[in-house]
Amino acid sequence: MLALKKEPPREQVLWRDADKFVANGYAPARTPFGHGMPGGPWAIVYSAPGDADREAYGAQGVSILTGARPNPQFGLNAATASWCVSILVRTEHKGIAATVDALIASRRVWREGVTSRFAPSRCTVGSLKRLHVFGLADGELAFNGRSGRFYTHPKLPGYMTVETRSANQQFVHSGVDLDVDNTPYHWHNGLDLTRVHRDQLPILGRDSADALSREIEDLFEAHGASWS
């Protein structure tokens, strides 16, 4: 069992080790550093990089497809078993960020029988933006992600928003944050997705994802933010 403790940011897992993601039930796609989307046709997922692929692109980053489509290398059963949901929350206020983190923690549920309750989240040094990863709830189809409203606060810089991604979507697992001066991503407590199998993730479905997003927006408004 993995120990959940504070650790320094781990070195990022590169495309040369993409088979670690596949072994844990995810659908990876290579992503050049400095890019927010996979390179090439993003829907094509390989079971693992071959030798030629590893040599040519091994030092690139990795994206995780939340709603991978089946293709000749990645059948329907494998695609369905890899489906995830991500929730990305942006804010520039420590108090709001802490309140949102507490709310998300209070709403997490896991599949029956899961005792190692890990909740991976992706961070960036110098930013309060955080991406939370869930497995898609059993029996549900990947759904159209929700693009959140943009909230602003008269006394705070930047904007606040919450975005949900599922069907035909992805997020960068290993790479740099284009919004924060190309700062490398890291995973809270070193708990990246090579250390947590998809079936160990907290789960989320369409309705619960929508309800959670609205609760987060209610918190924004409770702190004086408004959307336009």
Look at strands 109-110 and 202-204 and give their pairing.
Answer: antiparallel
Instruction: Give yes or no for residue 2 having a pLDDT over 80.
Output: no
Instruction: Give the per-residue pLDDT at 6.
Output: 46
Q: Which of 80, 183, 176 is nearest to 135 (CA)?
A: 80
| 162 burial level (CB within 10 Å; 0-12, 13-18, 19+) | buried
Instruction: Give the per-residue pLDDT at 74.
Output: 78
d(CA 219, CA 224) in angstroms, rounded, equals 9
d(CA 111, CA 45) in angstroms, rounded, equals 26
Q: Which amino acid is at 3?
A: A
Angle between helices 206-222 and 94-107 (to 10 degrees): 150
CA–CA–CA angle 93, 135, 57 (5° rounding): 85
- pLDDT-derived band at 157 (thresholds 50, 70, 90) equals confident
Instruction: Give yes or no for residue 5 having a pLDDT over 70.
Output: no
Instruction: Give yes or no for residue 149 having a pLDDT over 70.
Output: yes
Per-residue pLDDT tens over the stretch 38-79: 876 554 555 567 778 888 889 999 999 999 888 777 788 888
Instruction: Give the per-residue pLDDT at 92.
Output: 87
Q: Which of 172, 225, 142, 138 is nearest to 63 (CA)?
A: 172
Predicted model pTM: 0.92
Per-residue pLDDT tens over the stretch 97-120: 999 999 999 999 999 999 989 999
Domain extent listing, the chain: 15-227
Instruction: Give the per-residue pLDDT at 3.
Output: 41
Residue 151 contacts residue 226 (beta carbons within 8 Å): yes
Per-residue pLDDT tens over the stretch 182-192: 999 999 999 99
